[in-house]
Amino acid sequence: MSRDAKFLELIEITTKFDTLTALDKVSLTVAKGEVVCIIGPSGCGKSTLLRTVNWLAPPNAGTVRLEGQSVGQAPERRQTGRGIRALNTFRARMGMVFQQFNTWPHLTALENVTRAQVVVLGRSAAEAAERARAALCDVGLADKIDDWPEMLSGGQKQRLAIARALAMDPSLMLLDEPTSALDPELVSGVLAVLKSLAEKGMTMLIVTHELGFAAQVADRVVFMEAGRIVEEGPTSQDLHAPKTERLKDFLAKLTATQMPSAMAQKVVAHDPI
């Protein structure tokens, strides 16, 4: 396989929290430019899997590789010492967006976006500010540059968080339920930003409950349950013609509660439940 096809590799990842096995020998390969949505019931390990990629949740066993280079290999934790520098370089190449935004409340929008550029990438203050302005523009916050995060709405905060990640010019974006903490009316703005990113060819790994969104942007959908990947395939197949009973069941439950988008109706139409 070409290098692009194996852009990101997760190999036999096992993560245990005390007695609970959060991930059980999970392997996943993502190609360059591919958008992969991870869905599944809560507690299935999808967030842990995402956090394994940038070693925020170091697994007990397994390897993560980005473009063939090992980001981390369990049980090595690399939280201190020489390894941390190498790990930071990898982390800078992977933008992460959290459910709870995690924007820094003591810094303005611009400072939120420039800080890591200066420290990690060694950009000058002027360079970083220029890149930050462009990133804030891309997410539609051009007029909020000097605002404090607490003055922004949830959706704006999340877009700020996305800009913060984008300004690092990452080669991969990790998104952990980016719209789950948002009021329904704010979701669309964030999704629009993510959609345009996908169209620009950004490689993305997205944990989401937005099936309609997944249907629009994802090349592939991964369904997880109890720390394992249960079903994995092209979006159209996974969402429209699931192979496993478990995924059928899950989709039915999700579509019953979500707005009846065209997508959801399609799923229901395919699914006699």
Partner 1 sequence: MKFDISYTFDALPRLFEGALVTLQISLLGIALSLCLATGLTLVREATGWTWAHRMLAVYISFIRGTPLLVQIFLIFYVSPVIGLDIGPFLAGILAITLNSAAFVVEILRGGLASVPKGQFEAARALGLNGWVLWGKVILPQTFIASVPALVNEYTQVLKATALLSTITIVELMRVSQQIYTRNYHPVEVLTGTFLMYFVMCFAVSRAAAQLETRMKRRQA
Q: How far is the CB of 168 from partner 1 (least distance, A)?
A: 7
CA angle 189, 191, 197 (to 5 degrees): 110
Q: How far is the CB of 88 from partner 1 (least distance, A)?
A: 4
Nearer to partner 1 by Cβ, of 148 and 195: the residue is 148
Nearer to partner 1 by Cβ, of 49 and 168: the residue is 168
Nearer to partner 1 by Cβ, of 78 and 133: the residue is 78
DSSP 8-state secondary structure symbol assigned to residue 56: S
CB atoms within 10 A of CB 126: 9
For 153, half-sphere exposure in the C-beta direction (CA atoms, 13 angstrom radius) is 13
Q: Could you tell me the two tokens for 246?
A: 């478990």
Q: At what angle do helices 184-199 and 154-166 cross, to 10 degrees?
A: 20
Which residues of the chain form contacts with partner 1 (CB under 8 A)? 54, 56, 84, 88-89, 91-92, 94-96, 98, 100-106, 115-116, 119-120, 148, 150-151, 161, 164-165, 168, 174
Nearer to partner 1 by Cβ, of 151 and 273: the residue is 151
Residue 246 three-state SS: helix
Q: How far is the CB of 71 from partner 1 (least distance, A)?
A: 12
Q: How far is the CB of 238 from partner 1 (least distance, A)?
A: 28
Nearer to partner 1 by Cβ, of 10 and 96: the residue is 96
Q: How far is the CB of 103 from partner 1 (least distance, A)?
A: 8
Among residues 9, 21, 8, the alpha carbon closest in space to that of 60 is found at 21
Q: At what angle do helices 125-138 and 154-166 cross, to 10 degrees?
A: 130
